[in-house]
Structure 1
């Protein structure tokens, strides 16, 4: 079977530490082309992967015959480049958040439907073993009715991760649009929707810029979420957690509590009201601190979806629902009012 040709558009940290490494490790894929505005960067990456270098995504899409495109760009470019790639007949894996507005997200979904190509959003938290196990336990009723949750995703900020350091686009409103909430919060919104199997209907957001000077986006946020069945809980996203990352989630239920990535040794701890405690060692959660060498399973899942003609776990519609939670939190932070979330038709 011939290999799928892939182009990676945007050669920053997420491309270098996740997409390119994982495409290279996938036996069904050949990295054909890479693109970045910074010529020196893209030439170096192209040489490493024996790919053709471009500084214009339009030129790449016009000249290269590729099957897959990874969009690893600043947030404001996610929608236009994804739409261009879909219109060019490519399957697209887009980094999160999928867009900067609901309207952009809807246009991406429409482009995927019109082209008949796969659109997947790179929410990697669904593939973490402890998260998958927790979803399984909740769905089979192990902890009974779920009452509440708390989840957090925080670290010291993208300057320690982005290729551009303190000059990163992550800190610029016109390029990122959303700060810590778009970088980290949207991951947790997606995770909670996945684990609980429910949509959120209300969100109250306290969204601040209080930790880093000279940036124009949010860097510290706490939100209160309410699901359609009345589950209430908190979600925090922060670039102010020093020195260690927090990527934990706790689910409180009628018959017990599930602690995900909250214990240094056990990735999942199930504490039941009858006194039983079950400790699961399921492998560490993916972390930037580990140099990005561990497989996120996002690329493999995307490739498998295309090869098998199956719907990916995080479709455009799923990405839009998770984006809606974040946009609702931002609206709430600006207005001081609780945001009622729109229903996604599909």
Structure 2
């Protein structure tokens, strides 16, 4: 099988720690082009991976042959660049949140359909070992009825992770459109949909309380009601000044299920009968480990393209997770619960 030719558009931290090293480690692909508005960054990255450097994504799409494109750009560019790449005949892996509106997300899905290409969104929480194991157990009825849940994704903020630190686009409302809720909360919206089904209703408080000189949110607390009646909370924060939290706890008829809530055991199940089962599974990926743990996103995407099969996180799935976050913003603005369309 011929190697897939890869172009990575955007050479910031997500490309540096996730996309590029994971493509480089995959024997079925070859990184042929990288693009970044900052010329030195593009050149240094190209040199590192033996690729051609570009500062204009349109030039990349028009002048070099690629099969797949990773879109690792500020949120406001996700839709236009993904659509351009799909129209140029590429399969596209786009970072989350996939777009800044429902309409943009729809346009991306349409572009993929019209051009017969795969569009996948980089929601890596679905590939975490504990999450996959619990999904299977839930499907098999291991825990009985699910009563409620709490899920959170919180850390000190992108200044500790982004390549541009405090000057990062993450804090620029024009480019980011949304803060912690879009950066972290959308991951948990996707996870909770993956584990418990579709969301029916959302209520939210969305604040900027920890970061100075920015209009994007840094703390959000959402109340979520699922279609099956389960209720829970979803929180996202950039204000955890010591350590982070990426945990989910599901309260069920037969057990309390703790996911990624313990540094040693990524899954702990406390059964109603007093029994506790602890699982040491592959750890969840964190920014602190510099991307040492594989996200499995790239390998899954490459495999989907090569086998021509539907990926786990299609454009439609990405859009449904984005819609939960958009509903949270609307709820905060209107001061009322928002029913999902």
**TM tier relative to shorter chain:** over 0.9
TM-aligned CA deviation for residue 91 of structure 1: 0.1
Match of 2:214 in 1: 215
User: Which aligned segments of 4 or more residues in structure 1 are displaced greater than 2 angstroms?
Assistant: none
The C-alpha deviation readout for 1:220-259, integer Å capped at 9, x for no partner, is 0000000111100000000001210100000011111110
> Shift of the alpha carbon at 1:308?
0.4
Q: Distance in 1 between matches of 2:32 and 2:212?
A: 40
**What's 1:36 paired with?**
36
2:281 is the counterpart of 1:297: no
Structure 1 counterpart of 2:98: 98
CA contact (8 A) 2:284 2:293 kept: no
Task: Give 1:320's aligned residue.
Answer: 319
1:91-116 per-residue CA deviation (whole Å, 9 max, x = no partner) reads: 00000000000000000000000000
The aligned residue for residue 240 of structure 2 is 241
Per the alignment, residue 329 of structure 2 pairs with 330
The count of aligned residue pairs is 341
TM-score by length of 2: 0.99
Q: Give, in whole Å, the separation in 1 of the partners of 2:130 and 2:283.
A: 9
- TM-score, normalising length: structure 1: 0.98
Counterpart position of 2:168? 168
Between stretches 274-283 and 152-161, larger displacement belongs to 274-283
CA distance in structure 1 between the aligned counterparts of 2:51 and 2:290, rounded to whole angstroms: 23
Q: Report the CA distance between 1:136 and its aligned residue.
A: 1.0
Q: What is aligned with 2:155? A: 155
Written as runs of structure 1 = structure 2, the 5 A alignment for 1:54-203 is 54-196=54-196, 198-203=197-202
SS of 1:275's equivalent in the other structure is: coil
* Deviation (angstroms), 1:293: 2.0
Q: Distance in 1 between matches of 2:157 and 2:32?
A: 32
Shift of 1:15: 0.2
Q: Say whether the 8 Å CA contact 2:283–2:293 is kept in structure 1.
A: no
What is the CA deviation profile of residues 252-272 of structure 1, one whole-angstrom value per residue up to 9, with x for unaligned ones?
111111100111211000111
Pairwise CA RMSD of aligned residues?
Answer: 0.6
1:258-304: CA deviation from partner (whole Å, max 9, x where unpaired):
10011121100011111221100002110000011221000000000
Q: How does 1:251-290 map to 2 (within 5 A)?
A: 251-290=250-289
* CA offsets 1:73-103 (integer angstroms, 9 cap, x no match): 0000000000000000000000000000000
